[in-house]
Chain A
Amino acid sequence: MSKTTLIDTTRRDDLSIDASAVNSKEARALYKKRSPIHPKLAHGTFRNLKWAAMVVLLAIYYVTPWLRWDRGDGRPDQAVLIDFEGRRFYFFFIELWPQEVYFFAGLMILAAFGIFLSSALFGRVWCGYACPQTVWTDLYIHVERWIEGDRNERMRLEKTPMSASKAGKKLAKHTLWLLIAAATGGAWVFYFGDAPTLFSNIFTGQAGTPVYLFVGLLTFTTYILAGSMREQVCTYMCPWPRIQAAMIDKDALSVTYRVDRGEPRGPHKRGESWEGRGDCIDCRQCVAVCPQGIDIRDGDQLECINCALCVDACDEVMHKVGRPMGLIAYDSYANLERRKLGRGTSYRLLRPRTILYGTLMAAIAVLLAYGLATRSSFELNVIRDRSPPYVRLADGSVRNDYVFKVINMSALERRVSIEVSGLQGARLHATGIAGSGPVVTEARADGVTTLRLHVTVPPGIEAGTHALRFTARDLSLGDETGSASAFLAGANP
């Protein structure tokens, strides 16, 4: 699809629009009320990309908790579930226990490097397309536009005194916003409980207080952040615009106004010559469509989220006035510099920085996959009783006590034998039982079986710490796991 097909060439209204940047030097004050921003609807490649990103991301968010995944009897059938009560995290075929939280840490690190890499390559694409703040704000603006009309109609509505029709529009808008916000909070809690059950429980008043609390909390934050705070979240609250400067270098792409081509700017009448002037006709369409309310021609700014809607707006205008497109485009500082020197542009995607980020991502991904593929579903943890450190028995032998935790992550019960090795004469046994061989126990499925056992060593053992080892073996599958521990003996009384 070529760019021209996306442009509405039937529109022939006056290209110029009255718009000014909210952060222009003149408007900057130490204490300033928020100037309302009424972004105009843009048409073009990047607007379409944003529509696609919004639909896909919102679909992932709202639909995921409803996906089912059969795990067998008595186990949750929700594909993605964070089960705090059962202390499990289910993700399709993966089931994680709390002590495996490092997989989450790995995922977070992977995500962090992902955002580093995307920033180094394409600037703030995260901010412009994928950040929840951007996606929900975009959705809210769309609702606003649907009910109150586009930029000019909205601005006119702001100025008119309150009337039944205005009140009706405002009421409709805020009701829709609140519904979206409530759905957002609702979808959030579905990740933490069985979605269909929770859904009906919420409406019948059966869900727990935390559920209503979180639905309420997320309804509130969604409504406030996407409804009234919008660009202020990016400009004042979010740490990322400050951090991202460290990932962006002169070769990173970002939405850029081509000063060399645009200046000197000025109004242009049809038929006038383009000689001795820039291509920018100062129509301020780029400002009008900007959801952040800024003027991209002022250069790269903290406020700019690189959504490229100004690119769409400018391309449309350039098409209409018959100048080449790309006056505002994804470009790099390096290219701006090169053009000043009269050299051609070049894009360097492969740079030490991007290669490093990419390599690190691959390494972490491989490490995570390896960890996931080789993780054991059968473990033995041994905790030695420390009080008393050892017990002397009537016949002079010495006993130490241990708590064994047999961790069985599989869905089947295991019959497990535990034995001790590495210490001469050591016997493993339960309370009140002489015992000599291994101790056999049932390790329940998908859980931890705890048992307290004793190790007794015959008289004559030297005082001090002795090393020993416990081995647990699955009697039917034959797999083994073990744990090293210590045996303490004291001096004579």
Chain B
Amino acid sequence: MANSERDEATGMQTTGHEWDGLRELDTPLPRWWLIVFYTSIVAAVIYWVLMPAWPLMNGYTRGVLNWSDRRNVAAEVQALQSARAPMFARLAEASAEGIAADPELQQFAIAAGQSAFGDNCATCHGAGGGGAPGFPVLADNVWIWGGTLADIEQTIRVGVRSSHPEARFSQMPAFGRDGLLSPRQIGDTTEYVISISMARARLTPDRAAAARGGVIYQEQCASCHGGEGAGDRLIGAPSLNDDLWLYGGSRAEIRRQVEQGRGGVMPSWEARFDAGTLRSLAYYVHEMGGGEPDAAPAPLTPPQ
């Protein structure tokens, strides 16, 4: 530093270098800064020894503490599962009324069910069970396979048209596609279906066509959907006397369903969930709003 000189204004030495006429003061770093700096270096070296740090060809240095986040998470998950196990065990034994009577169990069932539903069911059935065309609404009070806690759980367990040996199974013929009925007959049947449903108020069926369609309905449809369109939950035949339609409620959509006889597939969840989770899922769906009591309807809550 031969060219180092003292700066008049500050009294500090300069570095002795000159860059395009600029000279720089050789200001020392603050002591506290240096302390932090050197402490950090020491801390880093200690860290390398204690914790996993350096990548190697076939792995990494493990550190003497043998720390592993992956193992810690696995242990935490394990701990959480064993902490929850007693509640799940209680849940697997409980009925809808039993769950409702125990606020702690109910809260647990709803929370566990909501979490499982969000991860596995909401993709098709919508968050909150709002449904989508072809995917049943779970929040309403119309059930194809039954709406008691046991019915819902059974449907979740075995699935619908799934590969499970006990799967819920129903098949509506494709009257149009397979040529079972002529397009004219399908039109008449559609008018009849509208006339027995609550959609008649908004779609105004053609009376003459509906009368012709009635004869076809009694021959082709009534065996499953019932003479008055009440449906049959035992065989999974949807009710036709309301105004809720799985594949859409316009005249064209109703006609299309008679033509095509569509039916969706729901997987069986038996292999995926344990009994407790299944029960919580069923309870969560049951409590969306349309769940039915196991036996006789519960008495009204007295107002006083």
Contact = CB atoms under 8 A, between A and B. Distances in A.
B239 interface: yes
B267 interface: no
Interface in A112-144: none
Nearest to A399: B289
Nearest to A453: B289
A279 interface: no
Which of A33, A395, A450 counts the most chain B CB atoms within 10 A? Answer: A395
Interface string A356-395: 0000000000000000000000000000011111011111
A438 B302 CA distance: 8
A433 B243 CA distance: 22
Interface string A385-411: 111110111111001010000000000
A388 B298 contact: no
A385 B249 CA distance: 25
Contacts of B303: 417, 437-438, 440
25 contacts: A30-B10, A31-B27, A387-B126, A388-B129, A391-B137, A391-B290, A392-B140, A393-B290, A394-B242, A394-B244, A417-B303, A431-B286, A431-B288, A431-B289, A431-B291, A432-B292, A432-B298, A434-B297, A437-B303, A439-B301, A440-B302, A492-B243, A493-B244, A493-B248, A493-B249
A339 interface: no
Contacts, number: 100
Contacts of A433: 297-298, 300-301
Contacts of A438: 303
Contacts of B291: 431-432
A107 interface: no
Which of A387, A388, A401, A439 counts the most chain B CB atoms within 10 A? Answer: A388
A30 B26 CA distance: 13
Contacts of A454: 289
Given A31-B30, A431-B289, A493-B243, 19 more contacts: A31-B27, A387-B128, A388-B131, A388-B137, A394-B141, A394-B242, A396-B198, A396-B243, A399-B140, A401-B139, A417-B303, A430-B301, A431-B286, A431-B288, A437-B300, A438-B303, A439-B301, A493-B245, A493-B248
Interface residues of B, number: 44
A203 to B, nearest CB: 28
Interface string B81-122: 000000000000000000000000001000000000000000
B103 to A, nearest CB: 8
Contacts of A30: 10, 12, 27
A493 B140 CA distance: 14
Interface in A470-488: 475
A399 B137 CA distance: 13
A394 B248 CA distance: 14
Contacts of A450: 107
Contact of B139 (A33, A386, A388, A475): A388
B293 interface: yes
Interface string A412-434: 00000100000000000011111
A387 B287 contact: no
